[in-house]
């Protein structure tokens, strides 16, 4: 394999000032960094992402063993690009929340400019021909990269859903976005549904004549773009090993209380994750199944996210009010229905929570894949557990053994909570084992292997 270049909004590492004299390296978490960093180390390559160039980066490169290249976007453009077009136009719309999506011409220009800045930075720096662009921040980048060198091999991966045409068509700049994307040689989606929505949008907006099976023949005659299904995954064995450490076990013992089922939710604090609906389902559960009070307790962990966007601050206030109201309603001096944690957890603490939880409630309103569901299964490593999963996640197409729910159906979620808590230990173990075996095979390493191998083309 030739050296690879990754382009993603976030860099895998960041130098952070530690005191007045030095700096320390903060590693990005998550499966993507864990999976791709070894590929870059082995084959060589560069990771481009948003960051401020400074003297520290040379030391970072020397330290991590592959190239990282920070691309700086002027503050004025960054606002319209990131908080605006990325997170207030594309993010809600691609998650079916059309009503939350705002169309501001200024944001669109900022988005175009940010994509151009990245393309230029790449052209100035990179010698590699093999490029892997990640996510909705860079839908225009494939075209910009191809324009400056048509011989490049460009992969693109979309980490969020691709919406149905009826929703996608509302974007004022829909054709530009599609033309930007199809300049890639391949585009990866988590599910067949997202891939088909993309092909449908191309057929209806650019013309059915450009569709050949699972690929798009570019209208300018420059070749074709293959649409692939590549469901992302987690580092299953490594998560299972982390969760099996003695220090984690010790913490699990502290977290468990005999006779009380531990129910768990873990999300980035984002309105697509369905946290208010989930809290209302918990309220409904304790209201309609009063015997379960004191016999179950729900822990919701929400990692702070996009706090610079007003909508996210508002969403946080809504959640805090709901938690306060529900706890005020049901708490007793010796029991609280909900514990709410609004911060980033250390990896071992997160593993202990997964391991200790009798049940994970993963109910986003819409989610490209959802790695929390897979992390829960991996950490359990076949131990008994219950996974209640939204049918609007990519993960629901793969995890056979989860209880699927409509995240808007509060009463049904409450009923599913009650019914699933009546299942036997054997049934809980069998479900988790089945899903764990699946994730052992379909882990993040398999995902990288598949994504970097040539696609099959159906005509
Ligand atoms: P996200 O929307 O960020 O990812 P998800 O896939 O669930 O959603 O990943 C969240 C990550 O954050 C998980 O690895 C989880 O462990 C971690 N996390 C959450 N809360 C935390 C906390 N309090 N402390 C520490 N860590 C926490 C986007 C798409 C998803 C897609 C991924 C990967 O929206 O649909 O699955 O990219 O493609």
Atom of ligand 1 nearest to the CA of 234: 14
Q: Residue 5 gets which letter from DSSP? A: E
Q: Active site includes 367?
A: yes
For the residues 141-158, what does the mean pLDDT come to?
95
Q: pLDDT tens digits for 94-105?
A: 999 999 999 999
**% of the chain with per-residue pLDDT over 70:** 97
For residue 126, pLDDT over 90 is answered with no
For the residues 377-398, what does the mean pLDDT come to?
98
Inter-CA distances, 42 with 8, 37, 46, 63, 233, Å = 19, 9, 12, 15, 21
Taking the C-alpha atoms of residue 305 and residue 245, their distance in angstroms, rounded to an integer, is: 29
Atom of ligand 1 nearest to the CA of 375: 16
pTM of the model: 0.96
Residue length of the chain:
459
Cα-based angle 159, 163, 176 (whole degrees, multiple of 5): 85
Pocket mutation for ligand 1, best pick of 188, 194, 372 (most atoms within 8 Å of C-beta): 372
For the residues 393-419, what does the mean pLDDT come to?
98
For the residues 83-91, what does the mean pLDDT come to?
96
For the residues 119-129, what does the mean pLDDT come to?
84
Distance 370 CA to ligand 1 centre (A): 7
Q: pLDDT tens digits for 294-350?
A: 999 999 999 988 877 888 899 999 999 999 999 999 999 999 999 999 999 999 999
Element (H, E) at 182: helix 174-182
For residue 43, pLDDT over 70 is answered with yes
Q: Which token pair is 372?
A: 């929390």
pLDDT value of position 55: 61
Q: Active site includes 270?
A: no
**% of the chain with per-residue pLDDT over 90:** 82
**In terms of Cα–Cα distance, which of 290, 297, 311 is closest to 340?**
297
Active-site residue (options: 159, 235, 270, 443): 159
pLDDT value of position 120: 95
């Amino acid at each position: 394999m030739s050296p690879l270049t990754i382009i993603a909004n976030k860099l895998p590492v960041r130098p952070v000032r530690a005191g007045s004299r030095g700096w320390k390296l903060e590693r990005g978490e998550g499966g993507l960094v864990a999976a791709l960093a070894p590929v870059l180390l082995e084959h060589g390559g560069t990771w481009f992402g948003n960051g401020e160039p400074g003297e520290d980066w040379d030391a970072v490169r020397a330290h991590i063993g592959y190239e990282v290249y920070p691309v700086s976007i002027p503050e004025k453009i960054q606002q319209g690009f990131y908080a605006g077009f990325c997170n207030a136009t594309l993010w809600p719309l691609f998650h079916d929340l059309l009503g939350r999506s705002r169309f501001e011409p200024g944001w669109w220009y900022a988005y175009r400019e940010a994509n151009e800045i990245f393309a230029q930075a790449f052209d100035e720096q990179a010698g590699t021909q093999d490029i892997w662009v990640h996510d909705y921040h860079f839908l225009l980048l494939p075209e910009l990269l191809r324009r400056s060198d048509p011989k490049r091999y460009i992969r693109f991966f979309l980490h969020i859903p691709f919406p149905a045409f009826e929703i996608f068509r509302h974007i004022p700049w829909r054709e530009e976005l599609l033309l930007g994307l199809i300049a890639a040689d391949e585009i990866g989606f988590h599910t067949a549904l997202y891939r088909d929505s993309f092909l449908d949008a191309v057929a209806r907006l650019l013309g059915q004549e450009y569709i050949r099976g699972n690929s798009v023949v570019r209208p300018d005659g420059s070749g074709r773009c293959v649409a692939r299904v590549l469901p992302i995954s987690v580092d299953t064995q490594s998560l299972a090993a982390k969760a099996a450490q003695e220090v984690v076990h010790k913490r699990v013992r502290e977290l468990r209380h005999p006779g009380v089922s531990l129910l768990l939710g873990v999300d980035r604090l984002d309105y697509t994750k369905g946290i208010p609906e989930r809290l209302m389902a918990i309220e409904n559960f304790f209201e309609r199944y009063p015997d379960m009070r004191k016999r179950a307790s729900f822990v919701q962990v929400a990692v702070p996210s996009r706090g610079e966007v007003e909508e996210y601050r508002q969403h946080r206030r809504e959640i805090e009010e709901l938690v306060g109201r529900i706890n005020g309603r049901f708490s007793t001096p010796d029991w609280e229905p909900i514990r709410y944690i609004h911060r980033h957890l250390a990896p071992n603490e997160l593993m202990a929570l997964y391991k200790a939880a009798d049940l994970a409630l993963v109910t986003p309103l819409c989610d490209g894949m959802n790695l929390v569901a897979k992390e829960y299964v991996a950490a359990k490593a076949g131990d008994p557990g219950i996974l209640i999963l939204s049918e609007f996640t990519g993960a629901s197409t793969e995890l056979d053994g989860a209880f699927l729910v409509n995240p808007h159906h509060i009463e049904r979620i409450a009923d599913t909570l009650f019914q699933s808590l009546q299942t036997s230990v054997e049934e809980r173990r069998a479900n988790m084992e089945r899903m764990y075996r699946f994730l052992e095979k379909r882990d993040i390493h398999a995902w990288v292997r598949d994504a970097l191998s040539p696609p099959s083309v159906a005509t």
